[in-house]
């Protein structure tokens, strides 16, 4: 029974909204968690106090919408967490409603038993977030199983198309015309070759050898990265920052356009 209930639990899509100089991403609590998660992604230069104030404002906004305990963090456009040490006692804010309905803000990580239990009432949570789109864990498991089947079926189709069909065509040609013997042999050779290639047993082509050479070069680079880890770390961080910044900027532009 417990397993069945777990399968019917929901994973809600996040809420994303633009605020101009930052955007928010709100994640309802997962099954068994006591709080929702809110992230502020800051797209412009702002003081620590301004960011912290925005976090406090957003807690109040979302607690009024969804009276569920919430933990808030802030990130820059590279995806790095903001250090708010000059403005607050912690980088993370936890907010919830007290028993008398007052908003409580805590600039610290609380113990589990210090956070109210509303989010553990799954029936209450599902009713509260009924307006959001979601998938059950059973649906997600079914989708993953379907994708695995599609990949397997795709490989079978490719194998039939590249190996079985050419072999059958060659055989039919052989029976219809004995002079096609050479064509039969050649076609069967191609089919066997393709089959062995798919199984990884055919001698490697020039392209495959070039790929192996590329892998050896990667190993060579890895060796030098181990010799100079600090240089490698700087290069890796620079590359990751470029990718992260680009993705976050695209999402911010999308939310701004949606708001407009």
Buried b (16+ CB within 10 A) or exposed e, 154-190: eeeeeeeeebeebbeebeeebeeeeebeeebeebeee
Q: What is the pLDDT of residues 121-160, one digit of tens each?
A: 989 999 999 999 888 766 766 767 777 777 777 777 777 7
Mean pLDDT of 28-54: 93
Ranges 69-78, 106-115, 116-125, 181-190: which has the least confidence: 181-190
Predicted confidence (pLDDT) at residue 9 exceeds the cutoff of 70: yes
Q: What is the pLDDT of residues 177-221, one digit of tens each?
A: 555 566 666 777 777 777 776 766 656 667 766 777 677 666 655
Q: What's the average model confidence in pLDDT over 67-81?
A: 92
Contact between residue 73 and residue 39 where contact means Cβ atoms under 8 Å apart = yes
Assigned token pair, 8? 């019917």
Q: Which of 18, 78, 89 is nearest to 48 (CA)?
A: 89
The rounded distance, in Å, linking the Cα atoms of 260 and 246 is 21
- Pair type for strands 103-106 and 10-12: unpaired
pLDDT at 178: 56
Burial class (CB in 10 A: 0-12, 13-18, 19+), 69: buried
Provide the pLDDT for residue 191.
75
The residues pairing with 17 across neighbouring beta strands, listed in sequence order, are 24
Looking at the chain, the whole-number percentage of residues with pLDDT higher than 70 is: 70
Residue 103 pairs in a beta bridge with 97
Question: Does this model's pTM top 0.85?
Answer: no
pLDDT over threshold 60, residue 224: no
Bigger pLDDT: 72 vs 148: 72
141 vs 80 pLDDT, higher one: 80
pLDDT value at residue 133: 87
User: Would you state the structure tokens that stand for residue 151, as one six-digit string?
Assistant: 């990949």
- Residue-wise pLDDT tens digits, 43-64: 999 999 999 999 999 999 999 9
- Domain positions in the chain: 2-132, 146-203, 214-260
Please, are residues 115 and 35 in contact by the beta-carbon 8 Å criterion? yes
Output the pLDDT for position 4.
Answer: 45
User: What is the side-by-side strand order in the sheet with 36-42?
Assistant: 15-18, 22-27, 36-42, 70-75, 93-97, 103-106
């Amino acid at each position: 029974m417990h397993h069945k209930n777990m399968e019917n639990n929901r994973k809600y899509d996040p809420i994303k909204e633009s605020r101009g100089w930052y955007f928010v991403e709100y994640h309802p609590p997962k099954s068994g968690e006591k709080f929702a998660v809110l992230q502020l992604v800051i797209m412009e230069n702002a003081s620590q106090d301004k960011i912290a104030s925005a976090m406090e404002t957003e807690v109040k906004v979302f607690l009024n919408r969804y009276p569920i305990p919430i933990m808030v963090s802030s990130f820059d456009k590279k995806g790095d967490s903001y250090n708010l040490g000059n403005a607050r006692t912690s980088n993370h804010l936890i907010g919830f409603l007290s028993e008398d309905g007052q908003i409580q803000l805590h600039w610290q990580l609380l113990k589990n038993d210090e956070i109210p239990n509303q989010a553990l009432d799954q029936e209450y949570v599902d009713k509260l977030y009924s307006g959001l789109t979601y998938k059950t864990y059973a649906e997600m498991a079914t989708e993953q199983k379907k994708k695995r089947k599609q990949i397997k079926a795709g490989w079978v189709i490719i194998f039939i198309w590249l190996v079985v069909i050419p072999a059958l065509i060659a055989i039919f040609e052989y029976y219809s015309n004995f002079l096609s013997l050479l064509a039969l042999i050649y076609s069967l050779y191609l089919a066997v070759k393709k089959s062995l290639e798919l199984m990884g047993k055919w001698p490697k082509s020039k392209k495959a050898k070039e790929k192996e050479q590329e892998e050896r070069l990667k190993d060579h680079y890895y060796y030098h990265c181990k010799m100079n880890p600090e240089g490698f770390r700087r290069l890796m961080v620079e590359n990751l920052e470029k990718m992260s910044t680009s993705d976050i900027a695209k999402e911010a532009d999308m939310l701004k356009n949606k708001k407009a």
